[in-house]
Structures are given as C-alpha cells and as structure tokens.
Amino acid sequence: SQTIHQWPATLVQPVGSPLSLECTVEGTSNPNLYWYRQAAGRGLQLLFYSVGIGQISSEVPQNLSASRPQDRQFILSSKKLLLSDSGFYLCAWRRDSKLKKGEAFFGQGTRLTVV
Amino acid sequence: TQLLEQSPQFLSIQEGENLTVYCNSSSVFSSLQWYRQEPGEGPVLLVTVVTGGEVKKLKRLTFQFGDARKDSSLHITAAQPGDTGLYLCAGGTAGNMLTFGGGTRLMVKP
C-alpha cells in the first residue's frame, strides 16, 4: 500500500531563518507531487507541483521554493522566512494518470509558525 | 489560474436538518472531487465526478456535477454531528493540477 510521510508536524521559526519541509511517498513510482498551504479553516492554495524528478511548477510568486531530488521526495524550502509564511503546509501525491481524475492523498501536514 | 468558489463559507445547523454546499467556477474541469478535512489533518476524498450531470450518492451525501462541468453541489440529508468538518471541492485540469475551493466549514449541533 502507498503511504506519504511529511515532517515535522509542527515548527516554530524566527523571521529570517531558513526552512526545509520534507515529504516522501512509499509504495508507488513516478507520482505527481504537490505542496499546498492552508490558512486556518480555509481552502488549499497550490504552491508547487511536480510531475517528475527535477520538474517543478510554481503557481504563486512567493518566498518559497521546492525541489524534487528523488522520484518520491519533495522538499519545500525558504532561505529567509517571513511572518506571512505562517500556515498549515500539506504535501500530497496523485498517480500519474492521463485520466486526470486520480485521488489526492495527503500527508498529516506541518503547522508552521513564524515568530 | 482556474478558481473554484464555495458557498457558504460557514454553516451551523441542528442535527437532523438538510443542507447543500455549492462549488462554482467559470472554467470547465475534467473532473471534480469533494474532500472532507478534520482539524490538524489532511483532506480525505469523499467522491470524484467526471461526467456532466453525474449524480453520486454516498449514504446521506448526494453529489452532483453540473451539465457544463463548471459547478458541483453536495447535499447532506439529516445531518449528524459526525458530519462536522471542512468540506473542500477540487477541480482537476490538464497538466496534473488540482485546484481547491475555499472550503465550507460545517458544524452540526446535537
């Protein structure tokens, strides 16, 4: 069976510090990978998605970057955090399918607070 | 960027009442999904609809995809406290993107 791991679960970082959130998927190959950010009680904002190693698409200009160094590893980074980067970050994967209707499976999320 | 608008944003009802949540867009989606999310967790898929006019039922939940594949609705009959949560619609598009709506926070009071 497939599983997705995301860590850490919570993180408190000072303004100006770097960030690295990691997400790994097990039990599948060549997944489509996504990073979302969610404000409290609201919908998910797509930040980055990747269809393969080294292939990153960015949806919004921001203080963040993403990398996919391995097929099942997706990393969200920042060189200098801003207060506005606080939020709930979710990693997700979907099967690579031409049908475009595959279910998205989410990690448990990372609650980031920038102080 | 394709946008999905959900309404209402918040809904508080008594146990046993019926409700409908709407998901609307000016864009056509190849598929549309509904998820439910509990606090501090990731969303979990409820249903996927792919054909215009399609209706799917999941116990007390009824999902409908608009004929033009631009909108969808979720109807809950006889709501229960266990239905409380954040309901999210998501549209699938070309290029493997999955775009989410703003969510509807539902609270069902016993």
Return the minimum-mean-pLDDT range out of A29-33, A100-104, B24-28, B98-102: A100-104
**pLDDT at position A39, please?**
86
CB < 8 Å & 24+ apart, contacts of B44-49? B44/A106, B45/A103, B45/A104, B46/B74, B48/A101, B48/A103
Cβ-nearest to B88 among A44, A101, A103: A44
Average pLDDT over residues B31-37: 93
CA distance B92 to chain A (A): 6
**pLDDT at position A88, please?**
95
B5 burial type by CB count under 10 A (0-12 exposed, 13-18 middle, 19+ buried): middle
Interior angle at CA B85, CA B23 and CA A47, nearest 5: 60
How would residue B30 be classed by pLDDT, with cut points 50, 70 and 90? confident
- Residues in chain B within 8 Å Cβ distance of A103: 33, 45, 48
pLDDT in tens, A13-38: 999 999 999 999 999 888 999 999 99
Contact A100, A82 (CB under 8 A): no
Cβ-nearest to B42 among A51, A103, A108: A108
pLDDT in tens, A48-81: 999 999 999 988 767 899 999 999 999 999 999 9
How would residue A6 be classed by pLDDT, with cut points 50, 70 and 90? very high
How would residue A43 be classed by pLDDT, with cut points 50, 70 and 90? confident
* pLDDT at residue A113 tops 70: yes
**pLDDT at position B92, please?**
81
**pLDDT at position A85, please?**
93
CA distance B17 to chain A (A): 23
Inform me whether the C-beta atom of residue B45 falls under 8 Å from chain A C-beta atoms.
Answer: yes
Closest-CA residue of chain A to B104: A42
Cis before B8 (ω within 30): yes
Inform me whether the C-beta atom of residue B43 falls under 8 Å from chain A C-beta atoms.
Answer: yes
CA distance B30 to chain A (A): 7
Site of tokens 């309404």: B7
Residue A4: closest CA among A32, A27, A21: A27
Residue A111: closest CA among A27, A5, A11, A1: A11
- Residues in chain B within 8 Å Cβ distance of A94: 96, 98
* pLDDT at residue A100 tops 60: no
**pLDDT at position A21, please?**
96
**pLDDT at position B94, please?**
64
**pLDDT at position A102, please?**
76
pLDDT in tens, B44-74: 999 999 889 999 999 999 999 999 999 999 9
* pLDDT at residue B1 tops 60: no
- Residues in chain A within 8 Å Cβ distance of B30: 100-101
Average pLDDT over residues B71-92: 95
Which site among A103, A105, A111 would you substitute to test the B interface, given the most B Cβ atoms closer than 10 Å to its Cβ?
A: A103
CA distance B16 to chain A (A): 24
Residue A52: closest CA among A35, A65, A71: A71
Higher-confidence residue of A42 and A67: namely: A67
Mean pLDDT of chain B: 92
